[in-house]
């Protein structure tokens, strides 16, 4: 199987703008700003998206994801700022001249057309010669595993199959940039996981620059080379899934990606080697290298973020003195057995800490007083709200 969008779907058609400006920066957003009346939907957004990469725009409802995607596609005009694709400003360039293609949440397939007709529709509108159209449609149907369904109508397809038709319909247009707005949100949880794996595989094989909107953090982690986390129209952090998970730059990102407990602490002592924190009547010492700090002041109040899987839980009476430096005492308030792990909500000095025990059979279900051993892995200290 060929693995470039040019050779696979573009075939022997004439080279287009995709081959121009072969720099690594493919889509560049510079101080992009969009307001609707009083509402600032996207506020001064800067992003550089690599050619061939998979980028997610992630954030809660209303944070400006769709507006950003629509500005890239040309359906929404920015109030100010600049958008470059392959180094060229897109100001005034209408959507159909941008070489981008959007897959929406509602696949909007034509019910009276077969799969083949649906996929070929855009080519037909562009008056592509019939022979070339058939060849391109056939290739893409085969690539995406829909050949056997070519003559069927959308209503006779499952949600996941319809989703693939919608994707084929976009890919057959040979876009330089593929844009997707929550394309899997109509599928049930299991199918969503399967289709996202397929989608990612297709994207990798084609090497097509893809910008994907979701508010599902797991989807973003699973699929992305890079994630842009947004809140209230403002970019919070842009980085790899690994960076966002392990080194969130602020509390919003720490909270939005993965589970986290936030514990208010006060900084007792700062040395080059470690940081001593007090939580109510208890204190702990963490190695300095394990703590990314936004707070550098002794005596200051701070918020310690703790990942549930980074804490080891044991019955209080089995904890040894050697554990004490990084251990907190608490009592189990509630638990849920979730098969692969048990999630505990533990009261520590009136604050709540979430702990996941990923080896439930080793300890069984714990109740009452427990000791929580904080991991060696990175944790963050943020300023108080
Ligand atoms: N055409 C419009 N007119 C007025 N306000 C709009 C318009 N489009 C979007 N907005 C507002 O801009 C903000 C961002 O909307 P947007 O659709 O980009 O959010 P989103 O991140 O895609 O949210 P969701 O996850 O719910 O789809 C919202 O406050 C929304 O109400
Ligand atoms: Mg949206």
Average pLDDT over residues 188-197: 85
Q: Which of 33, 56, 57, 65 to mutate to test the pocket of ligand 1 (most atoms within 8 A of CB)?
A: 65
Average pLDDT across the chain, whole number: 88
* Nearest ligand, CA 215: 1
Domain that holds residue 361: 259-382
Q: Do 219 and 205 share a domain, yes or no?
A: yes
- Ligand 1 neighbourhood includes 215 CB (under 6 angstroms): yes
Closest CA to 381 of 260, 216, 282, 272: 260
- Asked whether residue 248 falls in the same domain as residue 297, the answer is no
- Establish whether residue 64 lines the binding site of ligand 1, counting it when its CB lies within 6 angstroms of any ligand atom: yes
pLDDT digits (tens, 9 = 90+) for 193-252: 888 898 898 899 889 999 999 999 999 999 999 999 999 999 999 999 999 998 898 999
Q: pLDDT (tens digit, 9 = 90+) per residue, 104-148?
A: 877 789 999 999 999 999 999 989 999 999 999 999 998 888 899
pLDDT > 90: percent of the chain = 61
Asked if 291 and 245 sit in the same domain, the reply is: no
Please name the residue whose Cα sits nearest to atom 26 of ligand 1.
61
Same domain, 249 and 276: no
Q: Which ligand is nearest to the CA of 41?
A: 1
Judgement on whether residues 169 and 114 belong to the same structural domain of the protein:
yes
DSSP for 185-247?
Answer: TTS-HHHHHHHHHHHHHHHHHHT-EEEEEES-HHHHHHH-SEEEEEETTEEEEEE-HHHHHHS
What whole-number distance in Å separates Cα of residue 294 and Cα of residue 8? 48
Write the CATH number for 287.
2.40.50.100
Regarding whether 304 and 191 lie in a shared domain, the answer is no
Same domain, 289 and 241: no
pLDDT at 7: 44
Same domain, 227 and 366: no
Torsion on CA atoms 113, 117, 119, 121, rounded to nearest 10: -100
Instruction: Give the model confidence (pLDDT) of 20-77 as tens digits.
Output: 445 799 999 999 999 999 999 999 999 999 999 999 999 999 999 999 999 999 999 9
Residues 375 and 238 in one domain: no
Residues 235 and 91 in one domain: yes
Domain boundary (201, 226, 254) is at 254
Q: How confident is the model at residue 321 (pLDDT cuts 50, 70, 90)?
A: low
Q: Best substitution site from 42, 57, 67, 231 to test ligand 1's pocket, by max atoms within 8 Å of Cβ?
A: 67
* CATH code for position 113: 3.40.50.300
Split at pLDDT 50, 70, 90, the class of 192 is: confident
Query: In ligand 1, which atom is closest to the CA atom of 67?
Result: 18
Of 196, 229, 254, the last residue of a domain is 254
Number of domains in the chain: 2
Closest atom of ligand 1 to 37 CA is: 4
For the entire predicted model, the pTM comes to 0.86
Residues 120 and 165: beta-carbon distance below 8 Å: no
Q: Are residues 242 and 102 in the same domain?
A: yes
Q: Are residues 156 and 286 in the same domain?
A: no
Name the residue with the closest Cα to ligand 1, atom 14. Answer: 64
Question: Of 201, 221, 254, which residue is a domain's last?
Answer: 254
């Amino acid at each position: 199987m060929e693995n470039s969008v040019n050779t696979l779907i573009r075939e022997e058609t004439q080279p287009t703008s995709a081959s121009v400006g072969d720099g690594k920066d493919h889509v560049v957003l510079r101080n992009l700003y969009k307001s609707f009346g009083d509402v600032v939907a996207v506020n001064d957004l800067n992003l550089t998206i690599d050619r061939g990469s998979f980028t997610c725009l992630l954030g809660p409802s209303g944070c400006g994801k769709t507006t950003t995607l629509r500005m890239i596609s040309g359906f929404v005009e920015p109030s100010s700022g600049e958008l470059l694709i392959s180094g060229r400003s897109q100001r005034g360039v209408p959507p159909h001249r941008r070489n981008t293609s959007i897959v929406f949440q509602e696949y909007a397939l034509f019910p009276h057309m077969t799969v083949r007709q649906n996929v070929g529709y855009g080519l037909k509108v562009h008056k592509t010669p019939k022979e070339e159209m058939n060849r391109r449609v056939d290739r893409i149907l085969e690539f995406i595993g829909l050949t056997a369904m070519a003559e069927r109508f959308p209503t006779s397809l499952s949600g996941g199959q319809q989703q693939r038709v919608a994707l084929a319909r976009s890919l057959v247009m040979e876009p330089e940039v593929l844009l997707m707005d929550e394309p899997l949100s109509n599928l049930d949880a299991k199918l969503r996981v399967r289709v996202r794996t397929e989608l990612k595989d297709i994207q990798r094989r084609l090497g097509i620059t893809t910008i994907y909107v979701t508010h599902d953090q797991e989807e973003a982690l699973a699929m992305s080379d890079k994630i842009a986390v947004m809140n209230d129209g403002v970019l919070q952090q842009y980085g790899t899934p690994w960076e966002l998970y392990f080194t969130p730059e602020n509390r919003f990102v720490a909270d939005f990606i993965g589970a986290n407990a936030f514990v208010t602490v006060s900084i007792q002592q700062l040395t080059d080697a470690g940081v001593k924190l007090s939580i109510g009547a208890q204190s702990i010492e963490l190695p300095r290298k394990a703590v990314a700090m936004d707070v550098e002041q002794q005596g200051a109040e701070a918020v310690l973020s703790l990942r549930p899987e980074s804490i080891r839980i044991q019955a209080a009476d089995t904890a040894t003195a050697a554990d004490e430096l990084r251990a907190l005492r608490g009592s189990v308030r509630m638990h849920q057995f979730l098969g692969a792990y048990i999630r505990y909500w533990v009261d520590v000095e009136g604050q709540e800490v979430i702990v996941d025990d990923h080896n439930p059979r080793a300890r069984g279900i714990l109740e009452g007083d427990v000791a929580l051993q904080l991991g060696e892995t990175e944790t963050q200290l943020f300023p108080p709200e």
